[in-house]
Each structure stands twice: as C-alpha cells, then as structure tokens.
Amino acid sequence: MTTAETFRKLSELRLYGFARAVEEQLAQPNSYTTLVFEDRLGLLVDREWTEREARRLTRRLQLAKLRDRQACVEDVDFRHPRGLDRALLQRLAAGEWITKAQNVIVIGPTGCGKTYVACALGQKACRDGHAVLYRRVPRLAHRLRRASSRESTSRRRWSAWRNVAAVA
C-alpha cells in the first residue's frame, strides 16, 4: 500500500490527528527511528485522541453559548470585596453538583461578577465533559413558558386524536 493510499484511508476513517502525526513522523524520520513500534503507535493514537477531545471541547463551548467565553474559574479574583466565597466556588468548580443533578443560581448586586462566575463554571463544566447552556433568567423564563404552552397544546391534540381513534 502506498503512502498516499494510507493517507486517503485515514481521511476516510476520519483519523485526521493520526494522519497529521504520521506526516510529522515521516517528515522527521531521525527523531522517531529510535522508538519501538508500540511507542510510535502510541504517539499516533495519543495525537488522534487529543485532537478529538479538543474538537469535542470546542463544540461543547460553542453550544454552551457562554456570554464570556474567556471566563475561567482559575482566574476569578477574590481580592475585591464582592462577597465571593472561595471555598464555595472551588466546590462548585469540582462539579459534584452536576453529577448530583442539582442546580446553581448565581445572585448578587449589579456588577459583582455574576455573569463571569456563571460563565466560568460553565466553561469548567465543558472542560469536564458536560453539556452546558448559558441562559439569563428572562430568556429562560420565556423559553419555559413557550415550551409549556406547546406541550399543553400537543397534549390537547393528542387527547383529541386518541378520542377520535377510540370512536373509530
């Protein structure tokens, strides 16, 4: 099998990171000739896995629609007197509340950093592999009202259809 055919097949298999790593190994043959086959293969597989994880994270962050995409839990400044509890924020950043299916509501006066903290927690959750969706309360309430009205409408349609089907 030719190298071009190998790259074509890697592309068809969507192993783009693997293919780039093979190209790098071929471009620098002296750097990799001392490695045994298993080590070289391990480097190739690791590269593919790393690139897939990076793509997943990028996608989760896009879908989260965070208002502040640069917000990061590690960058929260506790020096300003905003009433932030460092221990609480660190516990929230650990994500146990997510695995327990609990909710977090961030409240406080204007300008205290609610949006930043919420986005930082969302970004950390994305990095930990969780799906996130950032919504402010007014938009969330609007969506919930719309969904509720649609659900009740579809329930009425379903019960009407069921009654008609029962009569037929």
Shared domain check, 59 and 33 = yes
Q: How confident is the model at residue 109 (pLDDT cuts 50, 70, 90)?
A: confident
pLDDT tens track for 73-89: 998 888 877 778 889 88
Q: Is the pLDDT of residue 39 over 80?
A: yes
| 103 closest CA partner among 145, 133, 61, 143 | 133
Q: What distance lies between CA 135 and its chain's CA centroid?
A: 15
Backbone angles phi, psi at 35, to 5 degrees: -85, 145
| pLDDT score of 164 | 38
| pLDDT score of 153 | 56
Shared domain check, 59 and 69 = no
Shared domain check, 129 and 70 = yes
* The pTM of the whole model exceeds 0.95: no
| pLDDT score of 55 | 94
**Domain boundary, last residue among 63, 83, 105:** 63
Shared domain check, 78 and 56 = no
Q: Is the pLDDT of residue 124 over 90?
A: yes
Shared domain check, 7 and 57 = yes
| pLDDT score of 162 | 38
Total count of residues recorded for the chain: 168
Q: Is the pLDDT of residue 163 over 70?
A: no
Enclosing domain of residue 161: 136-168
Shared domain check, 85 and 122 = yes
Instruction: Tell me how far apart the 2 most distant CA atoms of the chain are, in Å.
Output: 80
Shared domain check, 45 and 101 = no
| pLDDT score of 11 | 87
Cβ contact 125:97 at 8 Å? no
Shared domain check, 69 and 59 = no
pLDDT tens track for 128-158: 999 998 888 888 888 888 888 776 655 555 4
Domain count, the chain: 3
Planar angle of CA 13, 16, 18, nearest 5 degrees = 95
| pLDDT score of 152 | 61
